[in-house]
Chain A
């Protein structure tokens, strides 16, 4: 499978715990994006990387959120001290420079 992959696909955690999600983009795509989607809404941009550089972060991305793409390949999104409001689908997408974005299957997070 040469598409975008995300792990885990589902995560249930208790409030206050830390969680980490992984995204593996399409090979050789130099741009990687993270979005969050809640029920009944379109995805909302969180952050993006061009190669290993994090070039933009949304105001939605509070201090509890951190993302990395250390070698310009896979990326991780960590949420510290999770809150119930963090429950959502976390989507990763990748693209070549200036090209369309292709989404992974998403990680569905439920914070109890």
Chain B
């Protein structure tokens, strides 16, 4: 079992819709959870981080964390074609190294 799992997609949504991206992780001691966006040929760009159970909102983005079920999700409201990218879920494991364990990413396509 991979430490962090994501559906590779592609996930296709129409412009203006809500895109829902999911991620599960295996280490119950995982401490911090991150969503990065990566455009083709570019490096990952931080979108959001979440540490505590519940929801965290930032503009059109909402991160949701459920530690009991070991999943974290990212909702993108009013999706735009410019949101088309690969979304990487990453976690830091127990301990304090800070190293990120990434999922393989979900490709999102927002169609005009």
Contact = CB atoms under 8 A, between A and B. Distances in A.
A105 B45 CA distance: 10
A31 B98 CA distance: 9
A67 interface: no
B43 A40 contact: no
A56 B98 CA distance: 11
A100 B34 contact: yes
A100 B44 contact: no
Interface in B7-51: 8, 34, 36, 42-46, 49
Interface in A73-112: 89, 91, 93, 95, 97-98, 100-106
B97 interface: yes
Contact of B43 (A45, A98, A106): A106
B97 A56 contact: yes
B49 A100 contact: yes
A98 B97 contact: no
Contacts of B98: 31, 33, 48, 95, 97-98, 101
Interface residues of A, number: 25
Contacts of B36: 103
Interface residues of B, number: 22
B42 A105 contact: yes
Contact of A101 (B8, B100, B103): B100
Given A102-B46, A103-B44, A103-B45, A42 B105 contact: yes
Contacts of A35: 100
A101 B102 CA distance: 13
Nearest to B105: A42
8 contacts: A42-B102, A43-B88, A45-B100, A48-B98, A91-B44, A95-B98, A97-B98, A105-B42
Closest 9 CB pairs of A and B: A42-B102, A103-B43, A106-B43, A45-B99, A103-B44, A42-B104, A43-B102, A105-B43, A42-B88
